[in-house]
Amino acid sequence: MLPERIEDAFLEAAEVDGLGVGFWLGPGRIDHWTYRKLATEATAFAAGLQSRGIRPGQRVALVLSTGPEFYIAWFGCILAGAVPTALYPPARLGRVAEWRTRTAQMLSTSSSVMVVTEPRLYAFLGAPVAEADPEHGCTDVATLVELGRDQQLQTGHSGELAAVQFSSGSTGKPKPVALSHSNMLSNARSILSRLPGDPSKHHGVSWLPLYHDMGLIGCLLAALVGKTQITMLRPEHFVANPVSWLQAISETRATVSVAPNFAFGLTEKRVRDSQLENLDLSSWSVAMCGAEPVHPDTLDRFVSKFAPCGFRREAITPVYGLAEATLAVSFSPVATAPRWTVFEREALESNRQAIAADQGLRVASLGTPLDCQIEIRNEAGCKLPEQKVGAIHLRGPGVMLGYLDQPKETSKAIDPEGWLNTGDVGFLYQGELYLCGRAKDLVIIRGRNHDPAFIEQGLEGVEGVREGCSAAFAVLPEEADTEAIVVVAERHKNSTVDNDLLRANCLEAIQEATSLKVHDVQLVEPGTLPRTSSGKIRRSTTRQLYLSSQLSAPERANLRLVVREQARGYFHHTLRRLRGPARKSA
């Protein structure tokens, strides 16, 4: 009988000798933790939570890096009956002020009663914790483990709600997605069902952040449920040195690894030819690509570069999913070359119809539904036939319970029959799903709908522009009677191309790729474009900053900035502790 709750699946995995997680420390160095050892520590953590007064059903925010501590804390919350809410650590120090604001908002929105972090991040959380003022303050994993080491863990079932995952917030504020045990376990099993053969015979590698649904459910939980060995890298290590991802796959003979489109592009560009001879990617049979629009050109370049290392085109597996559906919605068939279909651009933009053609726009098929139904609907909510572009709706066991404590927002997203409006635009062609983009991001010019991702693709290959670092949107220029297209693009830090020439090259590239005339291309410094916690560019926020002339490069990260932020954080932690006794005495 399959476990119905996550704690049961965790404890079942802990019974398997040797099964666990490897944490990548570098070539030839892996810190391996069995689930049995993790379960021992997680049980102590859970008892520590209970001794601090955490009750079943209460939310506990986790601000942790990838490592054993995340596993201990996340599963420890589950064992205690608490609801883990994973938040992202401060990844971009130059944007730490924005991170403080967002973190405080998420702590308040989730009604978290405690924040659990690690010593190196404690100071950064001073201001958010002071603002949100969780009942049980902020502590670290080791403190709770030691507190609960000799305590008896009480049964902590918390009911249906298992965890809270925040949506990426690419078109607005991140929303708290409430997920049940059934949501998460069924979605993990659906993912495993698409792998060839016995899941336990596979080996995974992931650098995806564990606060993101693809990292948490698609990697951490799927590996646990499938009793699959997995090796984890820290996201920051991958970004700093992309070859580490491939080294881990090569050394562990991994068969499965997943990443967003940008990661395949970054790796193709940053891995040197001299490093290829030490890589053997012949074991990598399932290379899932999702979490953001899939660009065929990017993946074609990746295949070409790493074919000499044994990487096969058939391994590329485009997928589609979103937090509100737990994670996975559709998968391309594994062990089959990805399907890039060419559609008439004019028909897509003017008639919102997908007509296959010899020339036009190449779009990636995202495969067929996983354990769910998919419908494409028009603005009136009526089902559209195949090849018509509309809003993607879905229904199935992965659809969230709702947005946490937000019934109005939930009713807007999920209709009475259980259909979720994903907020994405796409179409079905020959039974397979194709994605155009986010409905709120559509650029409408003279009655024609332009998907910004397709406009931004026109900049791929332009020397001096960072790949995947541009945002297209519409504005109404002064004294104009119709909106026009603006593109903001980050220039490469090492580019020697003159700004005027680079701008002209961008205009020409977009017009050549799309036949569209762009009103303005604004070039900005690397890191300027606002992003979500998962790295997606926030186009609507970029548009607001452009219109208010507030697009500015992030503050340069240096020792002075770190010391300043830590001092600020310790001040707020101290102030909050001093206020505590005063509140109690009052």
Answer whether residue 332 is part of any domain: no
Answer whether residue 513 is part of any domain: yes
Low-confidence ranges of the chain (pLDDT < 50): 581-582, 584-586
Going across the sheet that includes 420-429, the strands are 373-377, 390-395, 420-429, 432-438
The range of the structural domain enclosing residue 465 comes to: 443-547
342-383 confidence digits (pLDDT tens):
999 888 877 889 999 998 889 999 999 999 999 999 999 999
Answer whether residue 244 is part of any domain: no
Burial class of residue 373 in the structure, from the number of CB atoms within 10 Å of its CB (0-12 exposed, 13-18 middle, 19+ buried): exposed
Residues 536 and 565 in one domain: no
Which residues, 6+ apart, have CB-to-CB distance to 87 below 8 Å? 61, 62, 63, 103, 106, 107, 166, 211
Residues 381 and 487 in one domain: no
Residue 538: half-sphere exposure toward Cβ, Cα within 13 Å: 23
Answer whether residue 53 is part of any domain: yes
- Of 420, 439, 458, the position where a domain reaches its end is 439
Residues 399, 104 contacting (CB under 8 angstroms)? no
Written as one string, the DSSP assignment of 487-509 is EEEEEPTT--S-HHHHHHHHHHH
Residues 377 and 404 in one domain: yes
Answer whether residue 292 is part of any domain: no
Answer whether residue 209 is part of any domain: no
- Total domain count, the chain: 3
29-86 confidence digits (pLDDT tens):
999 999 999 999 999 999 999 999 999 999 999 999 999 999 999 999 999 999 999 9
Cα–Cα dist 61/66, whole Å: 15
Q: Residue 426 is which amino acid? A: G
Q: Residue 37 is which amino acid? A: K
Residue 10 belongs to a domain with what CATH number? 3.40.50.980
Residues 503 and 419 in one domain: no
Residues 59 and 137 in one domain: yes
Tell me how far apart the terminal alpha carbons of the chain are, to the nearest angstrom.
Answer: 54
Check residue 581 and give its pLDDT. Answer: 47
132-185 confidence digits (pLDDT tens):
999 999 999 999 999 999 898 987 676 899 999 998 765 567 899 999 999 999
- Of 380, 412, 439, the position where a domain reaches its end is 439
Residues 138 and 52 in one domain: yes
Answer whether residue 260 is part of any domain: no
Cα–Cα dist 116/69, whole Å: 10
The phi and psi torsions of 440 (rounded to 5 degrees) equal -70, -15
Residues 452 and 425 in one domain: no
Answer whether residue 50 is part of any domain: yes
Residues 42 and 149 in one domain: yes
Any idea what DSSP says for residue 353? Answer: B
Residue 367 belongs to a domain with what CATH number? 2.30.38.10
- Of 439, 457, 477, the position where a domain reaches its end is 439
Check residue 578 and give its pLDDT. Answer: 64
Residues 77 and 8 in one domain: yes
Token pair listed for 204: 């995974």
CB atoms within 10 A of CB 552: 10
Residues 535 and 499 in one domain: yes
Residue 452 belongs to a domain with what CATH number? 3.30.300.30
Check residue 579 and give its pLDDT. Answer: 67
268-284 confidence digits (pLDDT tens):
989 999 999 999 999 99
Residues 31 and 142 in one domain: yes
Any idea what DSSP says for residue 529? Answer: S
Burial class of residue 359 in the structure, from the number of CB atoms within 10 Å of its CB (0-12 exposed, 13-18 middle, 19+ buried): exposed
Which residue do the tokens 């961008």 mark? 506
What's CA 9's distance to the chain center, in Å? Answer: 24
Cα distances from 347 to residues 360, 388, 440, 446, 516, in angstroms, run 10, 10, 21, 15, 15
Residues 466 and 397 in one domain: no
Check residue 584 and give its pLDDT. Answer: 47
**Which of 238, 87, 115, 57 shows the shortest CA–CA distance to 569?**
115
The phi and psi torsions of 200 (rounded to 5 degrees) equal -70, -15
